[in-house]
Structure 1
Amino acid sequence: MAEWKAKRFWKAAGIAQVPGGWQVELDGRPVRTPAKAPLILPGRPLAEAIAAEWDAQGEVVDPLSMPMTRSANAAIDKVAPQFDEVAALIAAYGETDLCCYRADGPEALRALQAQAWDGLLGWAREALGAPLVQVTGIVPVPQPQDSLARLRERVFALDPFALTALHDLVAISGSLLVGLAALEERFAIGDLWEWSRVDEAYQESLWGRDEEAAVMALHKRAEFLHAAAFWRLSRIPD
């Protein structure tokens, strides 16, 4: 049996300002999420970006070509209804943050880790008031409760759209500090991505490029950059 695919049924996508934000419309009819909730966006730029995705569809709708739409749907249908659970899951990354765990060797890898992660730990200590313990090895160690509480407070202060972006940034990078630094725009987003995969890059320098792993890394990088772009668009009101 041939797989069913949604076909384009509208001529033009547009946006309209409504109570609570901006909505995307198809031939004047409001778009709804997969859970049938109104697709209300916090600002015009994000609404315009989503409308452009709908306008760019051909005869057959390709959801994979609509990343802003998918992230907005996730924010409304999945993150908002279970905000506390999602926020707690993300905040828990601070207990075993990638930046805290250093290799016991070789020295070249330790130097690369320090170059990438020391600045993030310093930023957490100075700007966030959340110093974290740095250790050698992979055995988890308790982190200062005051620091974890400050990081948790920042996560819980976000709105569902920002939390959606942070969820992806943290899950892809393995680091709450990397995710928060991306939202704060404290470091260049490209640098944050590279810093999150220091170990992988080092192994590649030793053993050569694995094509399957390289393809996966490119996919993750695209998702990481998209999450940051989604967050930026969701911050602009008009």
Structure 2
Amino acid sequence: MVQKGFIEPGEKPRRFYETVAVEAGEGGWRVLLDGRPPRSSRGAALLAPTRALAELVAAEWEAQARHVDLAVMHATRLAFTALEAVPTAREAVADQIVRYAGNDLLCYPAEAPEGLRARQAAEWGPVLERARAELGVALEPSQGILHREQPAHALEAVRRHALSADDFTLSGLAFGVPLFGSAVLALGLWRGWFSGEDAFALSRVDEAWQESQWGIDEEAAERTARLLSEARMLEAWFRGLEAGPVSPA
């Protein structure tokens, strides 16, 4: 039996609540299901630092139908990660982001065909230059498929930006880098350089080129739609964090 308000990873319980609400509480904004906060398997109550972020999470709970499917509730799972896992593992999370920067997608353009290479240069080049100019993240593109060691100062800049973020923002960055295959795109989305949809489009220039040449199969289209929804959620996550600190009525 599923305890009301308690979620065990891997389970898909029936929807056990009728109402979803957001309420100011001690330390943040609480998401409430029939007046009680949902809790993780480790006992953490669902709490967000801004009302906008709590409402983003609450919308996921409201959208559940007969069953509660945590697999599609990305903001909820990200919130629990920010509350439970990240506070005691910030250095390790930053290391993960730095590792992606060391092999950043934007630094590995295709060697051929020329049309694809030109498109990648046109779309990725300005982003890399902005990262260099505004963040001090001066990554160097590879001239082929072989790994290129990135400058230590560029990777240290990535680490510095990651560790400057609060736990919720750092959780978002850690979610974004594997989604995009790029620390630069995750940092850019956080900084508001582009929308989640545009960041996702930048991450799949190669795939889009291939689709324009050979068409799109159903399985690939479903995967693209799923990942795009995650990118849109991440944009809402970062913008929700910008909405301001807790200000209980």
The TM-score, its normalising length taken from structure 1, stands at: 0.89
Q: Which residue of 2 aligns with 1:161?
A: 168
> Match of 1:162, SS?
helix
C-alpha separation in 2, matches of 1:203 and 1:59: 39
- Percent identity reads 39
> Are the equivalent residues in 1 in contact too, given 2:97–2:183 (CA < 8 A)?
yes
Alignment of 1:2-151 (within 5 A): 5-64=12-71, 66-151=73-158
- Paired residues, number: 236
- SS of the residue 2:135 aligns to: coil
1:58 Cα deviation from its structure 2 partner:
4.2
In the alignment, is residue 152 of structure 1 matched against residue 159 of structure 2?
yes
> Match for 1:234 among 235, 241, 244?
241
Quick one: which of 170, 183, 186 aligns to 1:179?
186
* Helix, strand or coil at the partner of 2:89: helix
The residue number in structure 1 matching 2:210 is 203
* Aligned mates of 1:136, 1:197 — CA distance in 2: 19
* Equivalent-residue separation in structure 2 for 1:181 and 1:187 (angstroms): 7
Cα pair distance change 1:39/1:106, threshold 3 Å: same
Return the alpha-carbon distance in structure 1 between the equivalents of residues 86 and 176 of structure 2.
Answer: 15
After TM superposition, the score normalised by the length of structure 2 is 0.85
Structure 1 runs not aligned, ≥5 long: none
Q: Is the 8 A contact 1:13 1:25 kept in 2?
A: yes
- Kept in 2: contact 1:130–1:151 (CA 8 A): yes
> 2:56 touches 2:236 (CA, 8 Å); kept in 1?
no
Between stretches 72-81 and 5-14, larger displacement belongs to 5-14
Give the letter aligned to residue 138 of structure 2. P
Is the contact between residue 165 and residue 228 of structure 1 (CA under 8 Å) also seen in structure 2? no
Deviating beyond 6 angstroms after TM superposition, the runs of 4 or more aligned structure 1 residues are none
Post-superposition shift, 1:21?
1.1
RMSD in angstroms over aligned alpha carbons? 2.2
CA contact (8 A) 1:128 1:150 kept: yes
Q: Relative to structure 2, which stretch is displaced further, 119-128 or 4-13?
A: 4-13
Over 3 Å counting, the alpha-carbon distance change for 1:21 and 1:189 in structure 2 is: same
**2:50–2:243: 8 Å Cα contact kept in structure 1?**
yes
What secondary structure, in the 3-state scheme, does the structure 2 residue paired with 1:23 have?
A: strand
For residue 159 of structure 1, report the CA deviation from its aligned partner.
1.6
- Partners of 2:240 and 2:99 lie apart in 1 by 26
